[in-house]
């Protein structure tokens, strides 16, 4: 089916019959057309219309001279949406121009004819616009056996906007012309898309742009970014990384959908107004994952889809966190605990709620993934985010250590899960100023939970008692038993994965040389900025622990001096807790912290 409005210069040998037969035109003007003149023709919206008006399409300018008659009325001119209207219109306008020079055109006639001309042009415009946006029609011109059905369906699916094209036409196959058109259209869409995505609609304030330049740094100041970004650090980090890895282009992510997705993520992270598990933590973990992928060159080992999944997993990994632990959900029998049968309660929710968003029409950043890609992406994201459940920590490290001792390659899902897990617990391995701030925020969140547990008459969870928790000691324990071992295993894992890659790269130059040891080219050298930070921070906490112990001693003495007989202490105020009785941050036998 054509909706072409096609201008065609055509030699016509004989005057068409229609000029004589059509009373609406020929009878009025009563003039015969000249043979051999040029015709401008317009195709109609349907083949039948085309067939029935074929004689009019071949009408000549000579024939249309009838419209240049003395009578300048418009009543008998052809309807504005017919093929001949534009042709007739042009003749009439030329005629009027000639007459204007001689001062022969009454104002009323001029008005009516200009009105007619405007309507014809409007109709032409509508027709033409429809044609340009109607790919269906091109694919309907298919000829059987030109290309396999699968190819045709693929073309329809990829280069047209509607699934309807795939099934609607049954057994038809595209003609070569249609295929070529579809390919051209696809290339054009791709070009337009690239232009759009590189000159994206997202306006990034200059101060944010400046800070985003530091995204590759280990101790990137995400708090500074969040201030400059007016509380939208997650949006900018997500946006920047998806652009940086060229994923927006690769997966044809629509910029307004991306915008909506990131804003909805931010809203979810802000739902419970958590001091720690908020959008800044989401941004921090995502930036840290990027740092590890890029600085170690692990990204070279991954496919685009795996990088995409890893970044999205990091972005969503604590989405709609309630500011309470899994254990709190289980103990209070929350809706989430009920829904997920007490297993990885929060992590299941983070995944489920974010996939709901990614499935929604306005935030569907995955809509150009094939079915297969979508399945792989989803499986990866699920595995990675479930592995952020801290109750899985020791098992995860043990599994990875076993894999490191074996000759087989490391499973990508497991490797990426460990990278995300390390990023999630990385703040003790960053600059002190960052780590200190995160710790205060996390403890504030834990203490709020402790307050609620107290109100509910539940035992206060480890690290959640604002009166008893020994902050410095807890952080030393967290570094020694959780963070340090995790980063050690991750370092070994990266070395095991990337050393053979480096060998391959030496011939292919796929990975830049600078990551490898200059003296021994076969040795992969990983930069480990976390190691120094961990050592420095641990020392700071040790100093703090000593100071805190002093302060406790001093207070104890002060309390004693206030009460002459310590036996008469009626315990109305809480006594400071000796270090050995204080709640430890981690139960080292189970590894369960305050997740």
The number of helix segments (H) and strand segments (E) in the chain equals 28, 2
Is 348 annotated as a binding-site member?
A: no
Q: Which does 26 bind (CB under 5 to 8 A by kind): ligand CMP, Zn ion, Mg ion, none?
A: none
Q: Which of residues 382-401 bind ligand CMP (CB under 6 A)?
A: 388, 390
Task: Tell the smallest beta-carbon distance from residue 343 to ligand CMP (Å).
Answer: 15
Residue 139 binds which of ligand CMP, Zn ion, Mg ion, none (CB < 5-8 A, kind-dependent): none
Which one of Zn ion, Mg ion, ligand CMP, none interacts with residue 253, CB within 5 to 8 A by kind?
none
Per-residue buried b or exposed e for 26-53, using 16+ beta carbons within 10 Å of the residue's own CB: bebbebebeeebebbbbbbbeeeebeeb
Which residue in 63, 318, 465, 473 binds Mg ion (CB under 5 A)?
A: 318
* 279 labelled ligand-binding: yes
The three-class DSSP label of residue 524 is strand
Name the residue among 360, 227, 222 with its Cα closest to residue 282: 222
Residue of minimal CB distance from Mg ion?
318
Catalytic residue ranges:
277
Measured from the CB atom, the residue of 235 and 435 that comes closer to ligand CMP is 435
Q: Quote the least distance from Cβ 566 to ligand CMP, whole Å.
A: 34
Choose the one of Mg ion, Zn ion, ligand CMP, none that binds residue 594, judging by a C-beta under 5 to 8 angstroms depending on kind: ligand CMP
- Pairwise CA distance, residues 163 & 522, whole Å: 51
In 10 A of CB 530, how many CB atoms? Answer: 25
Nearer to Zn ion, 135 or 389 (CB): 389
595 binds ligand CMP (CB under 6 A): yes
Is 425 one of the binding residues for ligand CMP (CB under 6 A)?
yes
Q: Between the CA atoms of 533, 534, 536 and 541, what dihedral angle is there, to the nearest 10 degrees?
A: 130
In whole angstroms, the minimum distance from the beta carbon of 313 to Mg ion comes to 11
Residue 318 binds ligand CMP (CB under 6 A):
yes
User: Which residue stretch of 97-105, 239-247, 424-432, 449-457 sits at the interface with Zn ion (rule: CB under 5 A)?
Assistant: 424-432
349 is in an annotated binding site: no
> In sequence order, which ranges of 133-246 are alpha helices (DSSP H)?
135-139, 149-159, 164-168, 176-198, 206-212, 222-228, 233-244
CA distance 445 to 405: 39
Single out the segment in contact with ligand CMP by CB under 6 A; choices: 151-159, 219-227, 420-428, 509-517.
420-428
**H helices within 360-514, ranges in order?**
371-386, 393-404, 412-424, 432-455, 471-478, 484-508
25 is in an annotated binding site: no
- Select from 425, 480, 434, 441 the least CA-distant residue to 292: 425
Instruction: Give the 3-state secondary structure percentages of the chain, helix then strand then coil, rounded to 5.
Output: 65, 0, 35
Q: Does 377 bind ligand CMP (CB under 6 A)?
A: no
**Where do we find the tokens 């009838």?**
66
Contact between 460 and ligand CMP by CB under 6 A: the answer reads no
404-411, Cβ contacts within 8 angstroms, sequence gap of 24 or more: 404/489, 404/492, 404/493, 404/496, 409/497, 410/493, 410/496, 410/497
Binding mask 57-96 for Mg ion (x = CB under 5 A): ----------------------------------------
428 touching ligand CMP, by CB under 6 A: yes
Number of residues in the chain: 595
- CA 198/CA 121 separation, integer angstroms: 36
In this chain, which stretch among 128-136, 208-216, 423-431, 517-525 interacts with ligand CMP, using CB under 6 A? Answer: 423-431
Does 318 bind Zn ion (CB under 5 A)? Our answer is: yes
442 binds ligand CMP (CB under 6 A): yes
CB burial of 175-185 (b: ≥16 within 10 Å; e: otherwise) equals beebbebbeeb
**Binding Zn ion by CB under 5 A: which of 135, 424, 431, 473?**
424
Interface contacts to ligand CMP, rule CB under 6 A = 318, 388, 390, 424-425, 428, 439, 442, 475, 478, 585, 593-595
Interface contacts to Zn ion, rule CB under 5 A = 318, 424
Interface contacts to Mg ion, rule CB under 5 A = 318, 388
């Amino acid at each position: 089916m054509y909706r072409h409005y096609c201008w065609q210069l055509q030699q016509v040998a004989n005057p068409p019959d229609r000029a004589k037969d059509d009373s609406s035109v020929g009878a009025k003007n009563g003039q015969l057309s000249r043979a051999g003149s040029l015709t401008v023709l317009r195709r109609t919206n349907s083949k039948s219309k085309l067939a029935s008006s074929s004689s009019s399409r071949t009408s000549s300018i000579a024939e249309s001279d009838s419209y240049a008659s003395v009578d300048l009325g418009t009543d008998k001119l052809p309807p504005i949406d017919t093929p001949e209207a534009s042709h007739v219109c042009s003749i009439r306008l030329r005629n009027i121009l000639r007459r204007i020079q001689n001062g022969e055109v009454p104002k009323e006639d001029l008005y009516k004819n200009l009105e007619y001309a405007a309507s014809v042009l409007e109709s032409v415009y509508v027709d033409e616009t429809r044609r340009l946006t109607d790919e269906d029609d091109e694919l309907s011109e298919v000829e059987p056996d030109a290309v396999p059905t699968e190819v045709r369906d693929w073309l329809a699916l990829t280069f047209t906007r509607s699934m309807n094209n795939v099934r609607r036409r049954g057994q038809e196959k595209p003609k070569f012309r249609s295929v070529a058109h579809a390919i051209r259209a696809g290339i054009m869409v791709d070009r337009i898309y690239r232009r759009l995505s590189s000159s994206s609609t997202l306006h990034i304030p200059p101060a944010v742009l400046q800070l985003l330049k530091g995204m590759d740094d280990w101790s990137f100041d995400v708090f500074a970014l969040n201030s400059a970004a007016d509380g939208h650090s997650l949006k900018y980090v997500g946006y920047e990384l998806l652009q940086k890895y060229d994923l927006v282009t690769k997966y044809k992510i629509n910029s307004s959908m991306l915008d909506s997705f990131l804003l909805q993520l931010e809203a979810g992270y802000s739902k419970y107004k958590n001091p720690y598990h908020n959008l800044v933590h989401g941004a921090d973990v995502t930036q840290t994952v990027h740092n590890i992928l890029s600085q170690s060159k692990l990204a070279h080992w991954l496919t685009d889809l795996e990088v995409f999944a890893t970044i999205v997993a990091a972005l969503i990994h604590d989405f709609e966190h309630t500011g309470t632990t899994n254990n709190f959900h289980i103990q209070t029998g929350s809706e989430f605990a009920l829904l997920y049968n007490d297993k990885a309660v929060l992590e299941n929710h983070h995944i489920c709620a974010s996939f709901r968003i990614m499935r929604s029409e306005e935030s569907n950043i995955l809509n150009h993934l094939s079915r297969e890609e979508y399945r792989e992406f989803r499986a990866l994201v699920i595995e990675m985010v479930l592995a952020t459940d801290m109750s899985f920590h020791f098992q995860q490290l043990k599994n990875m250590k076993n894999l490191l001792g074996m000759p087989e390659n490391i499973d990508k899902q497991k490797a990426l899960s460990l990278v995300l897990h390390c990023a999630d617990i990385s703040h003790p391995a960053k600059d002190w100023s960052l780590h200190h701030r995160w710790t205060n925020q996390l403890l504030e969140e834990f203490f709020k939970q402790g307050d609620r547990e107290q109100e509910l008459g539940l035992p206060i969870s480890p690290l959640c008692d604002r009166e008893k928790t020994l902050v410095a000691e807890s952080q030393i324990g967290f570094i020694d038993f959780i963070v340090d071992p995790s980063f050690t295993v991750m370092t070994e894992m990266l070395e095991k994965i990337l050393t053979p890659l480096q060998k391959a790269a030496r011939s292919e130059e796929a990975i830049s040389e600078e990551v490898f040891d200059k003296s021994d080219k076969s040795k992969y050298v990983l930069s480990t900025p976390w190691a120094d930070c961990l050592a420095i921070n641990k020392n700071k906490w040790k100093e703090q622990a000593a100071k805190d112990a002093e302060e406790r001693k001093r207070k104890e003495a002060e309390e004693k001096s206030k009460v002459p007989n310590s036996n008469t202490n009626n315990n109305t105020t809480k006594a400071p807790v000796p270090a050995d009785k204080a709640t430890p941050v981690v139960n080292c036998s189970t590894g369960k912290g305050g997740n």
